[in-house]
Amino acid sequence: MTIFKKKYFFGFLSILTLSFLLVACGGGDDTSGEGSSEGSDSGSEASSDIEAQTWRFVTEEVKGQVQYEYAAEFAKRMKEKSDGKITIEPYEYGGLGSETDQVELLQNGGVEMAVMSPGFTGNMVKEGQIFALHFLFPDSVEKTQEILNTSEALNKDLVERYEEYSITPLSFWTEGATQWTSSSPLEKPSDFENFKMRTQTSPLIIKSYEAYGAEPTPMSWSELYTALDRGTVEGQENPIFFIGDASFNEVQDHMTISNHNNYVAMTTVNTEWYNGLPDNVKTLVDETVEEMQDWVYDEQKEQNEKWLEKIKNDEEHPTEVVELTEEQRAAFKELALPVRDFYKKEVSTVDGAILEKLQKEIEDVTAE
């Protein structure tokens, strides 16, 4: 068995359990919007016509990390709003397979809800690779969140692309700016020459690192600690909280504060299931999704700040933390910009229209 970081155990789902989930959900044909029913007779008048039901909410992270805590908080709020009628079971990463298995589970109706990273859907929803483009969003994480909340290019046009695959993103949110960790310093593009960089699976992420001269290797994060430890890959990108909580800093000597991108996650639901929800239940979901945008912004901020200090002060596993200057970032940006043209011409299925609209929206927010 692969050696995982000791504190995590990724008990990958057996075929039996997967089958159970698919059968329990009717293999995706359940458009009743009622999930699995349970006996419950509590409830006020406002929720008295909501049938008792249980939904599964899978995440790509483990307890304590932003995505899982998001799902747990979401579940708590939905329980309260529905007077106990709606139970949501948050799932930690690992129990239901790899990140791409989880995407399939949502599409099949094996789970009703998922926090999903677009970095694992790029082979399917080509347009979703927009989030792979470095230096596209503003340096300010707060402004980035504002764009994610308000952008029509994302919340309407990109959502429609995902819905073609039975995935409805209800919101986009940042888990913080992404930074590099590495076994050798990464301060200028030439440092990436032949550098073995772990990436998620979307082809445009791979292309973005090839633009710097790196050799990208896509893999699941469940294999990453071991791969870094053994030198199978030499570096990776992630928000700081994730670097610290997954202990990647233990097996890396350097962390570069590059702010080259923002890690964007999506709150997603199975499209047919969601469209079949009764209006009053759908309203509760939509309200909660909206409320959670501020909650998750604060959560990631707190976790990223806390972990930056912890990593800097970790004497047992010292990490050299270097923040790139604007001049250093400009050298990377110069190489990253042509990837946008590649996205428009070769990746986009709508001639770059979503990117062009998003760029205009970004300009408007940054000019405020």
Site of interaction with ligand 6CS (CB under 6 A): 60-61, 99, 117, 175, 200, 221, 238-239, 242, 263
* Least Å from the CB of residue 33 to ligand 6CS: 28
- Which residue, 67 or 82, has its beta carbon nearer to ligand 6CS? 67
Asked whether 112 and 53 are in contact (CB, 8 A), the reply is no
Distance separating the N- and C-terminal Cα atoms of the chain? 53
Nearest to 310 by CA among 251, 256, 250, 227: 250
Nearest to 175 by CA among 93, 238, 269: 238
138 burial via Cβ count (<10 Å: 0-12, 13-18, 19+) = middle
- Which residue, 219 or 281, has its beta carbon nearer to ligand 6CS? 219
- Which residue, 58 or 78, has its beta carbon nearer to ligand 6CS? 58
Asked whether 84 and 43 are in contact (CB, 8 A), the reply is yes
* Least Å from the CB of residue 115 to ligand 6CS: 8
DSSP state of 13: P
* Least Å from the CB of residue 93 to ligand 6CS: 7
CB atoms within 10 A of CB 14: 10
* Least Å from the CB of residue 173 to ligand 6CS: 12
Per-residue 3-state assignment (H helix, E strand, C coil) for 275-307: HCCCHHHHHHHHHHHHHHHHHHHHHHHHHHHHH
* Least Å from the CB of residue 263 to ligand 6CS: 5
- Which residue, 102 or 348, has its beta carbon nearer to ligand 6CS? 102
- Which residue, 18 or 197, has its beta carbon nearer to ligand 6CS? 197
